[in-house]
């Protein structure tokens, strides 16, 4: 097998950008242990253990002419105690040894010279493991004539008590704190420096921040970051609850169980997934699917329904209780799914199936449900509510042009709560729901800030409506609500822009004079009607309700900037006719799109010329919590900590193997 280990399955990078090459993710030496050093576990959390012994043929780590010593051992024991063979420790038969090879480039010079390094590998995988006793464990792999790779694992203490019966986990994909500041400015009015209303998130009794970096890179993607939030384990970019081994295969990598899966296995609870993205996308997939390559959309859909297939399964998953979002193309018959309509298949498994907001609202709350509203992503809040002619460009799940009967995030979330509440009450269980404001990230990538901020305000409105609805159905006191992001973008607001003046200027330098900073930034014109001064103290009502702009396209808009950009032009106005496409590809790479913001001034990119969109950033992202257990989410956290805090609130940690029956 020949592949570049770094680039395998990559969705976000091309070889030209790879400044840091690695032989294998999370493998500091020629002996690899997955889960790696510094891994924490929830007591009783299921996982796989994989070890690899590698021998490069050439390069800086060349060993023994590429010959792997077959005499390697893996031992485990409590900290300071005796080490015993892993098979004995877990009470398993010793697994079969795998033998294969791969190649990688050590650096850009090696790639330019087309001089790869071949690596021979011997490996073993131990499946379906659990650690029940809280404390620290030593893991030692001995290989290649006495060399060792050591890992320290820690099992967290079990909770003193169960704080919450239900959990609703909101993810604002790509939502950094700067976006919330901008959304507050658009959706809420200030008078003499005092906001007259604020975001619902501003009222959270539990408030903190979390670090988003990856296992082996300081910039993450949504697969790795969502896996960290839901399993408590850092992954490599593109990995969904599975460590990326060196095989190059999408499946069979060592897996870890998510808190949603633990909740289902231990309590038989109800689990739902809502997203405005195509539903096989990384964040919804991270709830309960396992692959090192997030692009395996057909299998992600299969895992939602049946769990991990083949020899890698753990316990009977029996399907999510509801799945709402976009991505109808992944449910249509095709070569990847045996030319079977997944809509028909899910219906045959007892799911209600719907394609519109009207059908969603008509669902029986007592039955499991699948609702897919578009091909690709569900339309943005701005297009659903302000520039609605763009809905005629949306594509239905069956492939027809025009999709006006779409729900928003609030519609999907409240219906999901009703179904999960009804079903859990009938079965005497709790429920867990993941609801993703996915299009924040999609629009930030293409620098379409107005649509992105509309999604942020929609998320805040959804959280407000969720808390109210939980109170109405009697679940507020039993439900922990967590709101966070999986990562951020390098975005901020630095002033205002006089768009009328900008349009009248004939040079880029002249257009830049339209930017007002400090005292010249003025007040938010989004909270007054057109042609009304922003200094007016009257509180005007938005046509879309409290918490939204009175007007989306004032003369004086926010002026904003980005840390990482392709070539593009900026006029700071709403793109009313289409979502932004900032750069287009020509013979030299991505360059200014002549059809995008052509009245704006040129902003030369700082990314590689093969990148046509913005990218994620390192910035810490906010964490908000309401309800029982909210106090756990204060302070600065690492992203995996959130999974442990949810598990603590639900009392998921167990000192023995616990499995409860799930009732469809």
Binding site as annotated, residues for Zn(2+): 173, 441, 445, 486-487, 616
The Cβ of residue 204 has, within 10 Å, a number of other Cβ atoms equal to 22
| C-alpha distances in Å from residue 475, one per residue of 165, 171, 466, 623, 632 | 9, 21, 11, 22, 20
Q: What's phi and psi for 385, nearest 5 deg?
A: -120, -25
| Residue 340 DSSP SS3 | coil
The position carrying tokens 């909740």 is 263
d(CA 238, CA 234): 11
- 222 has catalytic annotation: yes
Cβ(134)–Cβ(631) below 8 Å = no
The structure tokens listed for 602 are 């040129």
CB 277 within 8 A of CB 377: yes
Helix (H/G/I), strand (E/B), else coil: 360: helix
Distance CA 375, CA 496 (A): 36
Structure tokens at 279: 């539903």
On whether the CB atoms of residues 497 and 556 are closer than 8 A, the answer is yes
With the C-alpha atoms ordered 500, 501, 502, 507, is the resulting torsion angle positive or negative?
A: positive
Q: Count CB-CB contacts under 10 A for residue 32.
A: 26
Q: Sign of the C-alpha dihedral, residues 283, 293, 443, 578?
A: negative
CA gap 460, 440 in Å, rounded: 12
The CA distance from 497 to 499, in Å, is 6
CA 229 to chain centre: 8
Cα dihedral sign, 405-410-414-420: positive
Six-digit token string for 218: 């300081």
User: What is residue 58's DSSP assignment?
Assistant: S
Q: Where do runs of H (alpha helix) occur along 350-507?
A: 357-361, 381-385, 409-427, 439-445, 449-472, 499-504
3-state SS, one letter per residue, for 464-507: HHHHHHHHHCCCHHHEEEEEECCCEECEEEEEEEEHHHHHHCCC
- Give yes or no for a contact between 371 and 363, defined as CB atoms under 8 angstroms apart: yes
Report the SS3 class of residue 617.
strand
**SS3 per-residue string spanning 125-153:** EEEEECCCCCEEEEEEEEECCCEEEEEEE
Per the CB < 8 A criterion, the answer to whether 114 and 49 are in contact is no
Of the candidates 222, 225, 227, 246, the residue annotated as catalytic is 222
Annotated binding site: 173, 281, 283, 436, 441, 445, 486-487, 616
Q: What angle do CA 534, 539, 545 make, to 5 degrees?
A: 110
User: Binding site for Mg(2+): residue ranges?
Assistant: 173, 281, 283, 436
CA–CA dist 168, 280 (Å, integer): 20
The Cβ of residue 42 has, within 10 Å, a number of other Cβ atoms equal to 28
Among all residues, which ones are annotated catalytic?
A: 222
């Amino acid at each position: 097998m020949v592949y570049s280990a770094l680039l395998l399955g990559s969705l976000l990078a091309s070889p030209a950008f790879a400044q840091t090459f690695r032989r294998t993710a999370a493998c500091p030496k020629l002996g690899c242990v997955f889960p790696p050093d510094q891994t924490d576990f929830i007591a009783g959390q299921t996982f796989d253990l994989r070890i690899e012994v590698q021998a490069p043929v050439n390069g800086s780590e060349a060993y023994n002419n590429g010959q792997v010593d077959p005499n390697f051992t893996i031992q485990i024991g409590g900290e300071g105690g005796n080490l015993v063979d892993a098979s004995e420790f877990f009470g398993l038969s010793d697994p079969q040894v795998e033998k294969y090879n791969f190649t990688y480039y050590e650096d850009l010079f090696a790639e330019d010279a087309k001089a790869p390094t071949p690596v021979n590998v011997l490996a073993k995988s131990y499946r379906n493991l659990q650690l029940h006793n809280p404390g620290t464990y030593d893991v030692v792999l001995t290989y290649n004539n006495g060399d060792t790779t050591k890992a320290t694992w820690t099992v967290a203490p079990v909770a003193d008590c169960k704080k919450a019966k239900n959990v609703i986990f909101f993810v604002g994909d790509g939502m950094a704190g700067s976006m919330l500041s901008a959304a507050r400015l658009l959706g809420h009015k200030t008078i003499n420096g005092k906001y007259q209303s604020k975001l619902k998130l501003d009222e959270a009794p539990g408030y903190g921040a979390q670090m988003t970096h990856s296992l082996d890179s300081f910039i993450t993607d949504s697969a790795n970051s969502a896996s960290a939030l839901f399993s408590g384990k850092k992954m490599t970019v593109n990995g969904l609850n599975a460590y990326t081994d060196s095989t190059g295969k999408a499946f069979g990598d060592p897996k870890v169980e998510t808190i949603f899966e633990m909740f289902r296995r231990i309590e038989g609870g109800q689990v739902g997934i809502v997203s405005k993205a195509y539903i096989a996308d990384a964040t919804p997939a991270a709830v309960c699917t396992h692959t090192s390559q997030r692009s395996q959309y057909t299998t992600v859909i299969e895992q939602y329904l049946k769990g991990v297939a083949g020899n890698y399964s753990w316990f009977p998953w029996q399907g999510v209780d509801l799945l709402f979002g976009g991505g109808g193309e992944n449910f249509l018959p095709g070569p990847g799914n045996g030319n079977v309509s997944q809509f028909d298949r899910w219906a045959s498994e007892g799911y209600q199936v719907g394609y519109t907001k009207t059908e969603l609202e008509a669902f029986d709350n007592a039955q499991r449900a699948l609702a897919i509203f578009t091909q690709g992503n569900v339309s943005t809040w701005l297009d659903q509510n302000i520039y609605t002619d763009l809905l005629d460009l949306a594509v239905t799940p069956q492939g027809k042009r025009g999709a006006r009967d779409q729900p928003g995030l609030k519609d999907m979330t409240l219906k999901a709560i009703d179904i999960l509440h009804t079903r859990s009450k009938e079965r005497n269980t709790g429920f867990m729901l993941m609801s993703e404001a996915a299009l924040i990230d999609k629009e930030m990538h293409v620098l379409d800030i107005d649509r992105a901020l509309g999604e942020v305000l929609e998320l805040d409105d959804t959280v407000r409506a969720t808390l109210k609805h939980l109170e109405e159905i009697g679940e507020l006191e039993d439900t922990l609500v967590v709101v966070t992001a999986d990562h951020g973008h390098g975005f901020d607001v630095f002033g205002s822009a006089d768009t009328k003046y900008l349009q009248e200027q004939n040079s880029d330098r002249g257009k830049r004079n339209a930017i007002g900073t400090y005292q010249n930034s003025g007040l938010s014109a989004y909270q007054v009607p057109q042609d009304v001064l922003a200094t007016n103290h009257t509180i005007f009502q938005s046509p879309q309700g409290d918490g939204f702009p009175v007007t989306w396209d004032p003369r004086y808009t926010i002026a904003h900037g980005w840390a990482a950009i392709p070539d593009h032009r900026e006029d700071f106005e709403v793109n009313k006719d289409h979502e932004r496409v900032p750069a287009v590809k020509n013979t030299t790479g991505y360059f200014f799109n002549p059809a995008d913001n052509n009245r704006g001034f040129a902003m030369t990119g700082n990314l590689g010329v093969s990148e046509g969109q913005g990218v994620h950033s390192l910035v810490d992202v906010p964490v908000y919590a309401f309800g029982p257990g909210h106090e756990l989410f204060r302070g600065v956290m690492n992203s995996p900590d959130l999974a442990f805090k949810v598990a603590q609130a639900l009392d998921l940690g167990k000192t023995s193997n616990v499995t409860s029956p799930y009732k469809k």
